[in-house]
Chains A and B, each alone.
Chain A
Amino acid sequence: MNAPLLELAHIGKQFGGLNALSEVSLHIKRGEIYGLIGPNGAGKTTLFNVITGLYRADAGEFRFAGLRYHHPQPHRLAQAGIARTFQNIRLFANLTALENVMIGRHIRTRSGVFGALLRDAATRAEERACAERARELLRYVGITRPAQTLAKHLSYGEQRRLEIARALATEPLLLALDEPAAGMNATETESLKMLLQDIRATGITVLLIEHDVKLIMGLCDRVAVLDYGRKIAEGVPDEVRGDPAVIAAYLGNDDE
Chain B
Amino acid sequence: MKSGRFTKKNGLFVLQLGAVLLLPFITDALLGRGWVRIVDFAMLYIMLALGLNIVVGYAGLLDLGYIAFFAVGAYCFALTGSPHLALAFPQLFPAGLHLSFWQVVPLSALLAGGFGVLLGAPTLRLRGDYLAIVTLGFGEIIRIFLNNLNAPINLTNGPQGISLIDPIAVAGVSLNAGEEILGITFPSVHLYFYLFLAFTALVIFVSHRLEKSRIGRAWMAIREDEIAATAMGINTRNLKLLAFAMGAMFGGVSGTLFAGFQGFVSPESFSLMESVMVLCMVVLGGMGNIRGVILGGVLLALLPEILRHGIVPLQQALFGRTVIDPEGLRMLLFGTALIAVMLYRPAGLWPSRVRRSELEADEPESTI
Contacts and interface: CB of A to CB of B under 8 A. Distances in A.
Contacts of A106: 214, 217-218, 221, 232-234
A116 B224 contact: no
Nearest to A94: B224
A103 B216 contact: no
Given A86-B228, A90-B227, A75 B214 contact: no
Interface string A88-119: 00111111100100111011010111011101
Contacts of A130: 214
Contact of A148 (B213, B218, B360): B360
Contacts of A20: none
A54 interface: yes
Contact of B232 (A103, A116, A117, A126): A103
Given A94-B224, A95-B220, A148-B360, A54 B230 contact: yes
Contacts of A93: 224-225
Nearest to B235: A75
Contact of A78 (B233, B242, B358): B233
A146 interface: yes
Interface in A141-158: 144-146, 148-150, 153, 155
A78 B242 CA distance: 21
Contacts of A94: 220, 224, 353-354
Contacts of A74: 230-231, 233
B365 interface: yes
Contacts of A231: none
Contacts, number: 125
Given A94-B224, A150-B354, A116 B215 contact: yes
A116 B360 contact: no
B216 A146 contact: no
Contact of B209 (A117, A145, A170): A117
A78 B224 contact: no
B357 A145 contact: no
Contacts of B366: 145-146, 149
B368 interface: yes
16 contacts: A53-B230, A75-B234, A78-B231, A91-B225, A94-B220, A94-B224, A106-B214, A106-B232, A107-B234, A113-B215, A116-B209, A116-B214, A146-B361, A148-B361, A149-B357, A149-B361
Interface of A: 52-54, 74-75, 78-79, 83-84, 86, 90-96, 99, 102-104, 106-107, 109, 111-113, 115-117, 119, 123, 126-127, 130, 144-146, 148-150, 153, 155, 166, 170
- The 3 A-B pairs at the shortest CB distance, nearest first, are namely A78-B233, A116-B213, A107-B233
Interface of B: 206, 209-210, 212-218, 220-221, 224-225, 227-236, 242, 246, 353-354, 357-358, 360-361, 363, 365-368
